[in-house]
Amino acid sequence: MTERHTFGGNLNPITCHAWNKDRSQIAISPNNHEVHIYKREGAADWKLLDVLNQHDLRVMGIDWAPNTNRIVTCAVDRNAYVWTQGEDSKWKPALVLLRINRAATCVKWSPLENKFAVGSGARLISVCYFEQENDWWVSKHIKKPIRSTVTSLDWHPNNILLVAGSTDYKVRVFSAYIKDIEKQPEPTAWGAKMPLGQLMGEFKHSERGGGWVHSVSFSADGNRICWTGHDAAIKVADASNGMLITKIRTPYLPFLCCEWISPRSVVVAGHSCMPLIYSIGDENEISLTAKLDQTQKKEAAGLSAMRIFKSLDRNLRTENTDTSLESIHQNAIACLRIFGGSKASVSSISTSGLDGQLVIWDLNSLTRSMQGLKL
């Protein structure tokens, strides 16, 4: 049902990870300036193939283009690199001209892999593409009306629109059209006029602030976006339904990542250390469908938090010496990726966390026994 992996014999926090096309190799950042490339050997063994160490400060984002087999990384050192594999199987870096004066925080390849977007603390998004004449990667900026650090990005399936979440409590949909390399885009539910930087939609996470936006995701058809904030709320906006916003406030700790796994379901994960599936009903209500982590043994046995405290009091104990969580991940989940399938129908996901673990979750086997599940 689940696979648990660690790398290099240690449990350094994993900031982010990305898979190659056939999922035989993985790129991870062990919470420093390096990116490690591992190849899977057998069921549980991993072989270190290469270490990408061009960055000077902590790597914040990794994305691996499946078709062109290029890796893009960004870091706190304000740089991004596009890595290509040479004939000797070693990865060679190419510097990207981001033109930012603050840390790069996130990066994402477009669906056609002819450009990528980098979010930063400079209150802007760098849309980067390869300039054939000068043989280098250049960028164009999307600035207004971003007021704070961009924390998360995702691309619309049409390769043009881009959704961004930021620490000004806003989620925005922009046009990232680069006329030098692309044809005129077709109209979408978000609008028809799409020059670079055009604001196609703007959503406030909460009228009372609601905290930073941690993660954003476009649905498979591109008509919906989902996002999570630091108040542990989940919101969905539907462009095909008059920009209708649906939300739910959850009792969990803040979610750091979200991803669509079907046209009506999303998976979220974060400080609660377990992935959760939420589904959108016929009346556009959002409800919890499944907890992917089924290791809650004490909870299943009926030992609630109140009973634990009563037991401690009865035995005159003032502290609980149990330092392990009742979950597979022992610390916050920082990164979530699709492992099998696509956003239209995801069969498995992978999560990595501050506990140094990578966990692969088989959604089909984990949810098969749950009645009434509508993915």
Top pLDDT among 225 and 135 is at: 225
User: Would you call 298 helix, strand, or coil by DSSP?
Assistant: helix
**Distance separating alpha carbons of residues 310 and 356, to the nearest angstrom:** 34
Top pLDDT among 295 and 221 is at: 221
- Mean pLDDT of all residues in 222-239: 96
Q: With contact defined as beta carbons under 8 Å apart, do 28 and 358 qualify? A: yes
Neighbours of 157 (CB within 10 A): 19
Which DSSP letter does residue 92 get?
A: E
Residue 297 has pLDDT above 60, yes or no: no
Residue 322 has pLDDT above 60, yes or no: no
Residue 371 has pLDDT above 60, yes or no: no
Q: Which fold has domain 3-369?
A: Methylamine Dehydrogenase; Chain H (2.130.10)
Which DSSP letter does residue 10 get?
A: B
pLDDT computed for residue 366 by the predictor: 67
Burial of residue 143 (CB within 10 Å: 0-12, 13-18, 19+) is: exposed
Cis ω for the linkage preceding 157 (within 30 of 0) = no
User: Would you call 327 helix, strand, or coil by DSSP?
Assistant: coil
Burial 3-26 (b: 16+ CB within 10 A, else e): eebebeeeebbbbbbbbbeeeebb
pLDDT computed for residue 106 by the predictor: 98
31-34 long-range Cβ contacts below 8 angstroms, 24+ apart: 31/58, 31/354, 32/58, 32/59, 33/57, 33/58, 33/59, 33/75, 33/77, 34/59
Residue pLDDT, tens place only, 340-370: 999 999 999 999 999 999 999 999 876 554 4
Residue 323 has pLDDT above 80, yes or no: no
pTM higher than 0.85: yes
Q: Whole-number mean pLDDT of the chain?
A: 90
pLDDT computed for residue 303 by the predictor: 46
**Distance separating alpha carbons of residues 179 and 177, to the nearest angstrom:** 6
Residue pLDDT, tens place only, 112-132: 999 999 999 999 999 999 999
Parse the chain into domains and list their residue ranges.
Answer: 3-369
Residue pLDDT, tens place only, 89-105: 899 999 999 999 999 99
**Distance separating alpha carbons of residues 32 and 58, to the nearest angstrom:** 4
Residue 261 has pLDDT above 80, yes or no: yes
Percentage, residues of the chain above pLDDT 90 = 80
Percentage, residues of the chain above pLDDT 70 = 88
Chain CA centroid to CA 249, Å: 20
Nearest to 254 by CA among 208, 211, 286: 211
Looking up tokens 């885009």 gives 185
What number of CA atoms fall less than 13 Å from residue 59's CA on the CB side? 30
